[in-house]
Amino acid sequence: MSDEKKLTLKRIVIFTVLCFIPNYILEIAFSDHRGGLTSAAAAQTVMLYPAIANILTRLITKEGKGEHYLKASLKKHKGIYLAAAAGPLAAGIINLFAMHFLYDPNTDMAGLLDKNTGGKGLGLMLGVILLTYLQDIPLLILGFGEEFGWRAYLTPKLEKLMPRLPACCITGIIWGLWHAPLIWYGYDFGRGYAGFPYVGIIAMCVVCMPLSYVLTWMTEKTKSVIPAAVCHTVIDSVMNLPAAAMISSEALEKHSLWVGITMMGLVPTAAAVCLLLTGFGRKKAEA
């Protein structure tokens, strides 16, 4: 192994350790044992550690700023920005119909929406979605916190050792394992599935792979981490709103593992397959 490869590997290890340590400590120490955290302040900071790890690794290994992926290039790539913002909502609507037919076919979606919105129906739902989009502007810092670590540091470093597709898959696995303490207690997939919590952790790693691939595509296409940050923030806030309003809580609870997999994995997998067919993943390792 060449010295450059060894150095890259060292940087990847340092970055991963710096990402995992604060996250695991906080999520274990402040776990409410139901998939949430007892400390609101800790919950506010967990998404920032990958970005902090990116900066610290560069300082520790004297790497300098290098390829930082901070240029916005908004005008040149406005289509991708638009897709990053609108994509998760479209994915949420597709998820809603997929989950309705797969797990909740007998529920009247319009009736449930009326019930959940106090009789105000689609009008309120639209208002909430639009407001959530606007509220995401000051919350972009959270999406940026994760993406600046995973997409702007880890994946490009892995791409120096291997082609893009396995690099995105390994990023997905690391990203999934990073969520492990929360999933251990029931976050995202609930607790009532066979093989809890190990199957949930594996499922998280699996769904993070295509998502990582799609977000890497956005980052590499624009040479900026900002569209990925926008997409991540909107995924966290907007994507689940349609399903939360129109799928019955019984179905969500009964099929919690598959609901989680569908929500996070269905559309990214389809998008990743399309990107693969267009040849995005064929980039060779650099070093």
Partner 1 sequence: MLGYIYSNFKSCKGTFFALMGVLFFANCFIFVPYFAGSEVYTAAKSSEGSSFLFMMCIFTVALSFYVGGIVQEGLLAADERKKWAYFVVSTEDGIKKQVGSKYILMLLYSVTISFVCIFMNALTADILGEDVPPTSGLILLLFFVQLLIRAINAPFIFAFSSKYGNTVRLAALLIVSAIALVYGLFGDLSIINMDTMWKKLFKAIEKLSESETAIWAQTAFFGVVIVLYFLSYKLSCKFYLKGAEHYDK
What residue ranges bind partner 1 (CB under 8 A)? 39-45, 70-72, 120, 123-124, 127-128, 130-131, 134-135, 137-138, 140-141
Q: Can you state the angle between helices 164-178 and 198-222, rounded to 10 degrees?
A: 130
Least distance to partner 1, CB of residue 173, Å: 29
Are the beta carbons of 239 and 95 closer than 8 angstroms? yes
Toward partner 1, which CB reaches closer, 211 or 231?
A: 231
What residue has token string 């349609």? 242
Q: How far apart are CA 68 and CA 52, in angstroms?
A: 13
Toward partner 1, which CB reaches closer, 125 or 206?
A: 125
Least distance to partner 1, CB of residue 45, Å: 7
Q: How far apart are CA 147 and CA 231, in angstroms?
A: 10
Q: How far apart are CA 154 and CA 172, in angstroms?
A: 10
Toward partner 1, which CB reaches closer, 165 or 246?
A: 246
Which amino acid, one-letter code, is at 62?
Answer: K
Least distance to partner 1, CB of residue 39, Å: 5
Least distance to partner 1, CB of residue 130, Å: 5
Q: How far apart are CA 171 and CA 173, in angstroms?
A: 5
Least distance to partner 1, CB of residue 49, Å: 14
Q: Which strand (E) or helix (H) includes residue 181?
A: helix 180-184
Toward partner 1, which CB reaches closer, 143 or 210?
A: 143
Toward partner 1, which CB reaches closer, 42 or 276?
A: 42
Are the beta carbons of 8 and 16 closer than 8 angstroms? no
Least distance to partner 1, CB of residue 164, Å: 25
What residue has token string 């007892």? 38
Toward partner 1, which CB reaches closer, 109 or 124?
A: 124
